[in-house]
Amino acid sequence: MKIAELCIQTVESQPFAENTYIAYRSDQTDCIVVDPGFEPEKVLAILDREQLVPVAILNTHGHSDHIAGNQALKQRWSDIPLIIGQDDADKLTDPEKSLSAPFGVELRSPPADELVQDGQVLSLAGMDWTVCDTPGHSRGHVVFIYQARPVIVLGGDVLFQGSIGRTDFPDGDMHALVDSIHQKLFTLPDDSIVLPGHGPPTTIGQEKRTNPFVGVPAGYPA
């Protein structure tokens, strides 16, 4: 995907069909990697092929399918910061909290190098990403927003095409998730593109009109 000067490549990792995103400007060779999953070799192959060098790893939240590739990237680029919302940082090093232990995997990521909070702007690889707290799927979930035309949202597990993130995990909260979507995402322009943690891209306008959980079919104002 290319939008104006911004290029974004998507890597789908199994077994959870999780989306990792590599974002960079078309005129630069540095990039960010967002939510590296269980198949980091796919990410590394793209970085090598495109001759890209990551300057940061961003995690939208700390569930195992979104952090499993952190270690592989940090092994190769030990000095790049690992960035996550301040209320999900404990999941990185705790297999119970990251939900890997219940699947029989004792997954541990390197700890966070930088904790972020709502409204903070990250200037990375020639791009400015605004951090937006979006709790509900997890307590410390954040999304990263690029103010382009259209706006780009690296959305993690908040809003999907025709669906929303699960809230049946230990720190999930359905009311908080709905509030996050309505107050933080549905206030963006309708043509804003959401790049979710699972599934295909969507737009804010489409989800307002058609999403059965949080859109007009669920009572959201038309």
Mean pLDDT, residues 190-212: 98
Count Cβ atoms below 10 Å from residue 219 Cβ, excluding itself.
8
DSSP 77-107: STTSPEEEETTTGGGGG-TTTTT-GGGT---
For tokens 């911004």, name the residue.
6
- pLDDT confidence band for 3 (50 / 70 / 90): confident
Mean pLDDT, residues 27-41: 96
The predicted-structure confidence for 85-102, as pLDDT tens digits, reads as follows 999 999 999 999 999 988
The predicted-structure confidence for 67-85, as pLDDT tens digits, reads as follows 999 999 999 999 999 999 9
CB 58 within 8 A of CB 72: no
Question: What is the count of structural domains for the chain?
Answer: 1
Look at the chain and count its residues.
222
* CATH for 207: 3.60.15.10
In whole angstroms, give the CA distance from residue 163 to residue 212: 7
**Chain centre distance of CA 188:** 17
Would the pLDDT of 12 be above 90? yes
What pLDDT is stored for residue 86 in this prediction? 96
The predicted-structure confidence for 101-122, as pLDDT tens digits, reads as follows 887 788 999 999 999 999 999 9
The predicted-structure confidence for 123-144, as pLDDT tens digits, reads as follows 999 999 999 999 999 999 999 9
Would the pLDDT of 151 be above 70? yes
DSSP the chain: -EETTEEEEEEEETTTTEEEEEEEETT-SEEEEES--S-HHHHHHHHHHHT-EEEEEEESS--HHHHTTHHHHHHHSTTSPEEEETTTGGGGG-TTTTT-GGGT----PPPPSEEE-TT-EEEETTEEEEEEE--SSSTT-EEEEE-SSS-EEEEETSEETTEE----STT--HHHHHHHIIIIITTS-TTPEEEESBS--EEHHHHHHH-TTTSGGGT---
In whole angstroms, give the CA distance from residue 144 to residue 174: 21
Contacts of 136 (CB under 8 A, 6+ apart): 158, 165, 167, 172, 173, 174, 175, 176, 177, 178, 179, 180, 181
- 193: domain range? 2-218
Q: Which two tokens stand for residue 145?
A: 């927003």
- pLDDT confidence band for 4 (50 / 70 / 90): low
What pLDDT is stored for residue 149 in this prediction? 87
